[in-house]
Amino acid sequence: MVFPCCSNMFRFHVVIVSILIALLGPSHGLQECHFPAIFNFGDSNSDTGGFSASYYQHPSPYGETFFHMPAGRASDGRLIVDFMAESLGLPYLSAYLNSLGSNFSHGANFAYDASTITPQSLGLSDGGYSPFYLLIQYGQFKQFMSRSQMLLKQGGIYEDLVPVEKFFGRALYTVDMGQNDLAAGFYGNKSIEQVNASVPSMIDTFAADIKDIYNLGARSFWIHSTGPIGCLTYILVGLSVSQDQMDSVGCAKPYNDVAQYFNQELKRAVSQLRQELPLASFTYVDVYSVKYSLFSQPQKYGFEQPLLTCCGYGGKYNFNGDVRCGQTGKINGTQIYVGSCKNPQLRVIWDGVHYTEAANKIVFDQISSGAFSDPRLPLKFACNRI
């Protein structure tokens, strides 16, 4: 699909970033990073197979657009982290929990569907959240580091399956978490005010976990803000959002306000980490603004009906929480199969919770340019400390 040109504001940001790179070129110590590996921490927005390997596989039509089969991703195709790997010339990340066919020589993915920053009381079997919250993902990474080097010393086939030691200090460390922490509060019958009040604790936990990862040798961090949760169908339908809570786009403003407060505190925490850990580079990435623009200006990106779920069934938003994408069930006494829409490339929302490959590609293209980063450096320069 060829996407129409992005907004004038985005082009302006790209020009500014280009000027910055020109001014701060090699003579000022600004070098392209050549990351040899990516280590990712997150939830279903970046899980490339952990959930599918350890719980159950996302069914068809997941993966249909690019992989032409379910591929462990909560989308019809590639995720932002997949496009990130492509752009850095690296293979797609294998999930840490996937024991079959994995190659970790250029990184590993610790992200897992339904994961949170803070531990949750309601587990997956009860319709809740993953046991692999951020501190556990850190623990898995710590074990991965030590065990991979033990295996490397054994030689043989392991030499081609695990990263060499020097890659850990030169790798890119990406983090995308927070959406499920907010959703857990909303679905846990907490008021907007109560969820807001819990945000500082979430951020303190996040910062502590990032320090732990840093103490293992990580030096280049690329940290995503959370997206506009109030634009996602499972919020609009599941929480019975009233008309007076809608903004001009049709998103639920109170829930987006909480996400923006979370991002405000996250950006503050990243800035503090930058001061406390001057040997590392920390890039805060405003994913929220880019994702919101997909809903507010869909025509600029070639999308239609941005709030309508592609793989869903029924109602105003083509979404029913009782029978979801790829499932078969009864609705009003009729047996139905929930399949994909005809043209996923024209939709923003894939299954009511996650984005389509087309949306993920646009988000990646914009954030990788550095136009939405603090500091304003492109992805390939994110190891630089300025």
Q: Which of 13, 43, 44, 220 is catalytic?
A: 44
Q: Is 224 a catalytic residue?
A: no
Could you identify the residue written with the tokens 């790829």? 326
Of 289, 75, 32, 37, the closest CA to residue 174 belongs to 37
User: Which tokens sit at 243?
Assistant: 């008309």
Torsion of CA 46, 50, 53, 55, to 10 degrees: -100
Show Cβ contacts of residue 281 under 8 Å, excluding neighbours closer than 6 positions.
219, 220, 221, 382, 383, 384, 385
Is 271 annotated as catalytic?
no
Point out the catalytic residue in the list 43, 75, 351, 373: 351
3-state SS, residue 237: helix
Cα–Cα distance measured from residue 377 to residue 380, given in angstroms and rounded to the nearest whole number:
8
The Cβ of residue 70 has, within 10 Å, a number of other Cβ atoms equal to 17
In angstroms, the CA 386 to CA 382 distance is 10
Asked if 354 is an active-site residue, the reply is yes
- Closest to 256 measured CA to CA, from 234, 278, 288: 288
Catalytic, out of 47, 293, 354, 369: 354
CA diameter of the chain = 70
CA angle 76, 77, 81 (to 5 degrees): 130
Q: CA–CA separation, 43 vs 52, rounded Å?
A: 13
3-state helix, strand, coil in the chain (%, to 5): 45, 10, 45
Show which residues are catalytic. 44, 351, 354
